Homo-oligomer: A and B are copies of this chain.
């Protein structure tokens, strides 16, 4: 197992829980101790000890003897799905999503808001806390107060993260966040364990546990938003690399491009095909007269975004179509190189820019299949995510469950 993907203990707060036992009980709903012992291949005392710790945490309950099939009636245990919840936060460059999720990482309540991550950690995390508080004030379906049953927080941020320390490191599109102790900030406020990761990593985890990447051991999740990043799933776990910056594909050079990038280089993928770049391209098309539709939109609103390109495409605006195809080709060329290198079986395309639609996806696909080796694409699927904008919060919740309860959301098959 990759060392950086091993569940981390945080300040002794984590109970010693056996995720295998919990997962089997969860997936079964109700199960006899004898069946559990058989399925896990463990001794009866070992299973009993694990069940005791899970019972103390309230995650399972004994339900008394079940119906006898001849001999002694079986002793049953039952998963208690609403015994614990976690909070998942997906912080993007221009918005935040917050959800309360159950022990299957499925959101049961959700709030979202627009913001600007460039306003810095104090203001932005203040908004995050307001949204968390709003969710904590709403009673859950079982009538319980969230504050009584929430056990941890997971948060994704749009930049490189030192996962063990829970802080951003040199995030290019997050001025003021470098080395900011996100984990401590939230842990002090709420008293729960907090896990911080890169947003694309968490989206990859989300799609891996409940979406397009279920049961896929090695895949890439390319997030095309304001920034461009990539979550790398290796053997069913997030691969973070040496400094936590693995998947930082936004500054890979695109052939034939010379646009200056905020990183100091030129021709970076993000400077060509990221959300801000597409807004800039839309403005150029409007101002140059290439696109009358975008010119009207600019006159009406004073600013253009990738969404305006999407609108123009629906109006068969040829300049907009060409611009989106060029962005897709650039994304696909970079992904083609990574497909050659990483030989995944799946590339999931996600992030806000994907809302532009099929034209972008088609251009990305065409470019990947043209520039990757046939062997690398023989069994390759390129698809949009199955969870849409929810991938991030589901992945954040799943990460908390994996770290707290070793309740790995991905199937055993994917973990190889």
Point out residues on A near B: beta carbons under 8 Å: 1-4, 6, 160, 169-170, 172, 217-218, 230, 232, 234-235, 239-249, 251-256, 263, 265, 267, 333-334, 336-338, 340-345, 370-371, 373-376, 378-380, 416
Contacts of A172 in B (CB 8 A): 373
Q: How far is the CA of A239 from the CA of B253 in the complex (A)?
A: 25
Are A242 and B2 interface neighbours, CB within 8 A?
Answer: no
Are A341 and B232 interface neighbours, CB within 8 A?
Answer: yes
Q: How far is the CA of A172 from the CA of B170 in the complex (A)?
A: 41
Contacts of A342 in B (CB 8 A): 232, 241, 246, 341
Chain B nearest CB: distance from A198 CB in Å?
11
Q: How far is the CA of A255 from the CA of B256 in the complex (A)?
A: 6
Contacts of A1 in B (CB 8 A): 1, 235, 416
Are A373 and B251 interface neighbours, CB within 8 A?
Answer: yes
Contacts of A380 in B (CB 8 A): 242
Q: How far is the CA of A232 from the CA of B252 in the complex (A)?
A: 19
The one of B3, B252, B255, B256 in contact with A235, judged by C-beta atoms closer than 8 angstroms, is B3
Chain B nearest CB: distance from A113 CB in Å?
29
Are B341 and A376 interface neighbours, CB within 8 A?
Answer: no
- With A242-B343, A244-B343 known, 10 other A-B pairs at CB within 8 A are A1-B1, A2-B217, A242-B380, A243-B375, A243-B379, A252-B337, A253-B371, A255-B256, A263-B373, A337-B338
Chain B nearest CB: distance from A248 CB in Å?
5
Can you sample 17 A-B contacts with CB below 8 Å? A1-B416, A2-B234, A3-B235, A170-B374, A218-B242, A230-B341, A241-B342, A242-B380, A246-B341, A248-B340, A248-B376, A251-B373, A252-B341, A255-B255, A265-B370, A265-B371, A337-B338
Q: A255-B255, A255-B256, A267-B255 are in contact. Are A344 and B2 (CB under 8 A)?
A: no
Contacts of A370 in B (CB 8 A): 265
Contacts of A338 in B (CB 8 A): 337, 341
Are B344 and A242 interface neighbours, CB within 8 A?
Answer: yes
Chain B nearest CB: distance from A348 CB in Å?
14
Are B267 and A375 interface neighbours, CB within 8 A?
Answer: no
Are A343 and B246 interface neighbours, CB within 8 A?
Answer: yes
Contacts of A378 in B (CB 8 A): 243
Chain B residue nearest to A235 (CB atoms) is B2
The one of B3, B169, B263, B341 in contact with A416, judged by C-beta atoms closer than 8 angstroms, is B3
Contacts of A252 in B (CB 8 A): 336-337, 340-341
Contacts of A234 in B (CB 8 A): 2, 234, 239
Chain B nearest CB: distance from A1 CB in Å?
6
